[in-house]
Each structure stands twice: as C-alpha cells, then as structure tokens.
Amino acid sequence: MEYMSSPRVLSVTKGSPAESAQICEGDQFLSINGRRPRDIIEYQLLVEEPDLEIEIDRGGLARIVTVEKLAGQPLGVEIESALFDQVRTCDNHCEFCFIYQLPKGMRKSLYMKDDDYRLSFLYGNFTTLTRFTEADLERVITERLSPLYVSIHSTDPELRASLLHNKRGATSLRWLKELLKAGIEVHGQIVVCPGINDGFRFEETLLGILEEYPQLKTVAAVPLGISKYSKEPNMRAHTLAEASAVVELVEKYQDIFVSTLGRKMVFASDEYYLLANKQFPASESYDEFSQHENGIGMARAFQDSFNGDESKAFGVKSGFFASVDGAPALGYRAVRAGASGSGSQVQLRKSLPVAIITSQYGYRILYPLVSDHNRQDISFAVVKNEFFGGNIAVAGLMVGTDISRTLSDMGPGYRYLLPDVCLSEGRFLDGISPDALPFPVEIIPTDGLSLSRALNRR
C-alpha cells in the first residue's frame, strides 16, 4: 500500500479565506472537496475552486470546514511540503552521483536520491525519466507541468545505460521525445565524465540532440564533482586540456545550432570556464539564463548585477540539496536565516573592515569585481572545502566546519559577509547553524546587487 501523508498547515495569512474559516496552524487537510491531493500541484488545483469543503484533522479529531471564496482567490495557507505521497526515488547507480560521495553522519534527508518528475517541475531537479510512465506523461501533458529538467548524459542508448547503471537508461529518452512532441518545455543536462562520455562521445551526443531532440529549450554541459569519499575508480577530475576541449566543442556546436535552429541551445557551465582558464561569455550569449541555477551564466549575471544591472540579480537556491527537506511549496525555497546578532551588534560591525566569505571558485569571480570598489578595506575569507575534499570548490557546498576554521584563522575585527546559497533552512549541509560560527556573520542573498549594497552600507 502506498504511503500517503496529508498537507499540514504551516501558517495562515491574516484576512484570508482560510482565517475566516478558522483554519489553524498545524491542521492537516485530509481531503478537499472529497479528494485527497497527492502533491502540492494537485492541491493547488483543488484550492483554486470557489467554494471548498475541507476535511481537517486537528489534534486527532476530524471535522469539516467550509470555505467561501472566489474562484482563483488564494486560500491563504502555507503548506509544509511539496509531496504528500512517497517521493519517487532514483534506482539508477550513476558513478558520478554526488549523493554516493557524501560522508557518513549527515542528516538523513541528504542521502535521499529522487527521480521524480514533480520535483523536476517544482524545484528544477533533473530526472532521468527511467521511472516515468504513461500515466505520468498523461498528467504532465494534461496539467501542462512545464518546464521539466532531464538528465541526458548521452544519446547513445548503450552508453547511457552504462552511465546510469540501469538498462532502462537505454530506452527512457523515448519519454523525452513524447514530452517535446506535446510542447512541454524541457531543459537538458550532460554531466561530462573524462574518458567516458567526453571527446567524440560528447560530440556524438550533441549531434544526437540536434537530430532527435531539436525542440529542447537548453542543454547544459557540466563537469562532475568528485569528493574525497568517492569510491569510483573511473571517476576523476578534468585536466585543463579536457576542460578546454569541452568549452571549445560547446562553442563550436553553438554556431551549428544557431545556423540550423536559430538559437545556441547548448551551454558550458561556469565551472568549465574556470577550469579552462577562459573568460566567461558576454551576457547576451546566455539567451534567457534559463539554466542559471545549474551554474550556466551565474558568474556573468552576478558580475552584471554587481555593476548595477538589477535585472540580473537572480539570486540562487539554497545549496545543492535545496528540495530534500521539503521546502515550502510557494516560492520553492527553503527558509533562510537573517543576519546573526542583535541589531546594535550588526550596526557596530558596519564600521569594521569587510571580509567576504566565499569558496575558491567564488574568489576567482569576486576578486576582479571588488578590486576596483571605492572602499579599500575589503578582504576575503576564502574557504577551502576540506569537509567534502576532492575538487569541490563552489560556494553552495561550503559548510560550517570549514567556515569556522577559516574565520578562526582570520580572527575577529571584520564584518563578515556570508552568501545564503550555502544555507538550507538556516543550516549548513554539515548541520551547523551560522550562530555557531566563531564570529557573527551577516547573511546576504547570493547575487551581485545584494553584495554591492552590503559593501556600500557603512
């Protein structure tokens, strides 16, 4: 029997129909107009109706609540999680999967692998479609659950099955064809593994996309992350020459896609440009920044917003595991923490020299930006990621343990600025709270405009 939970109310908006109906925080919705929603998508469709009869559970007692409202008027409640039935877990065994490379002892939810198309729609998670079904296809098309995000990795059936360690990997891209045929917007991803699906194999995949899936909106080429806990001998970091080859091949095929389809479609991640020691492309090269959250054009957008372009201040989701703890469905973001310390303490620190907490990759992006800033008291607290080790050098995977060590080495006397991208529900991935760091930190949104404003506050 499939496990089903019920939507639980986190908060009720003042003056809303829910408050008028005396719905309370902690109530569980057993049914809405006689139907039990499986997920926040179905829930949202149900509460769009004008008049609602909601069966709720309050402290173990069931009761019926009638809500009178206009069609489309918000009910006025925030729900705890996105899925009420079981998350569809991943049964692939990709050697490059980062979840297999986590150390022991982290919070349990971080070890959950999902391959659920609903989380792809809600959070931008990538799905391989190996667990996708006819019923799923019908629902996606009927409810227009778009965009979706699909892991491609290779268009060669045999190689894709090998990469996923799942024989269904050879055939599951048939669902991608059906989604595209139905007009669903889909963004693809290729994790490029040196010696396995790079080189001519990578070029074959780009040709396969052009021939078989030309309706794809975008395709991202991203390098694999290798932590010190990886036990896969075939997985290794790119060399400079290999990273350069990926960038050059992507740029070659951008020209091909433009000439045949009228758009670039394929993009190399910012990390590839850093690995290859190449300049980031201009903003215009990223079209609509559709895969910003996947590290495509993130650095360029950050630079532009730091220099005053507010339209590029996209911000970033909280960390690598943004959705696993059931982030509130509205906005699809986990709760963030504010600046540590009391208001008077924060005000006092504004008179101190600034130290920007960032990763090794982050430093390479930020240093050229702030070196020309009008204030001369800016330093960097560059965090080496010893917690994960390997080639992990992105800001989103900084943890409290490494940040604490870095701040202790620098000492007090700084106004420390911390990007919120490394926090999920107010905690670092190692479970530490910002309040447990050796010195107070000021948490700011991870976009250039927010950093610029923070530097200008004195």
Cis peptide bond N-terminal to 147, omega within 30: yes
Tokens 């080189």 locate to: 199
Task: Enter the tokens of residue 404.
Answer: 């604490």
Confidence of residue 399 (pLDDT cuts 50, 70, 90): very high
CA count, 13 A, side-chain hemisphere, 382:
10
* Side-by-side strand order, sheet with 28-32: 28-32, 51-58, 61-68
CATH number of 9-79: 2.30.42.10
Tokens 């409640």 locate to: 77
pLDDT at 3: 57
Domain locations in the chain as residue ranges: 9-79, 98-296, 343-456
Tokens 């495509």 locate to: 296
pLDDT at 337: 41
Say what the pTM is: 0.88
CA count, 13 A, side-chain hemisphere, 408:
9
CATH number of 98-296: 3.80.30
What does the pLDDT look like over 151-169, one tens digit per residue? 999 999 999 999 999 999 9
Task: Provide, rounded to the nearest whole percent, the portion of the chain with pLDDT above 90.
Answer: 75
Q: What is the DSSP annotation of 27-47?
A: -EEEEETTB--SBHHHHHHHH
Please say if the pLDDT value at position 93 is more than 90.
yes
Question: Mean pLDDT across the stretch 4-19?
Answer: 90
Tokens 């939810």 locate to: 109
Residues 310, 298: Cα–Cα separation, whole Å: 14
